[in-house]
Amino acid sequence: MTTTRTERLLLRPVSTTDLDAVIRIMADPETNRFNPAGTPNAATVAGYLETWIRSWQTDGVSYWAIELAETGEVIGFGGLRIHELMGEETLNLFYRFSPAAWGRGYAPEMGRAALERASRDHPDRPVVIVTQPLNKPAQRVAEKLGFVRTGAHETELGTDTVYRRQEAFSR
């Protein structure tokens, strides 16, 4: 489990010390605006953190705590996790940032680092972004990273929009 540095961000594996930041960001109603399940409570969000930590331990890949390199402030969570999508094992590229961090290019910056890691460590697995149809900000990030909309995926909560890396289609 290594830390990755980008121009402005420090991307490090999550730990139990991130619980307050996970609750602050992941249980914020504004960051859940497009979540069909609504805003999760603190216990649910703590479960997310446990799952992410376990994924680091079992798979060697999971979501990072995203810090501003300059200050050490945790502004979001994201990265890659192994994810089964319609019977295919993929890497899900996820990003969720504090509203104060929106619109500053942090999601594409983190996403590029995650894609570099995927290419290096998991070149055989496709990378996907799964988002809600109305979540235009997340879709813009996907497109900036070279993803294209490839379809939809039905879940118990509705329909998700699926994006895949464009270069995956030229192989």
Q: What is the CATH number of the domain that holds 36?
A: 3.40.630.30
The answer to whether residue 150 sits within a structural domain is: no
The answer to whether residue 140 sits within a structural domain is: no
Cα–Cα distance for residue pair 110/125, rounded to 1 Å = 19
The answer to whether residue 151 sits within a structural domain is: no
**What is the model's pTM?**
0.93
For residue 167, what pLDDT is reported? 62
The answer to whether residue 159 sits within a structural domain is: no
Q: Name the residue range of residue 40's domain.
A: 4-124
The answer to whether residue 160 sits within a structural domain is: no
The answer to whether residue 148 sits within a structural domain is: no
- C-alpha distances (whole Å) from 7 to each of 101, 122, 136, 140 are 15, 23, 25, 21
The answer to whether residue 8 sits within a structural domain is: yes
When divided into structural domains, the chain yields a total of 1
pLDDT beneath 70: ranges in the chain: 1, 167-171
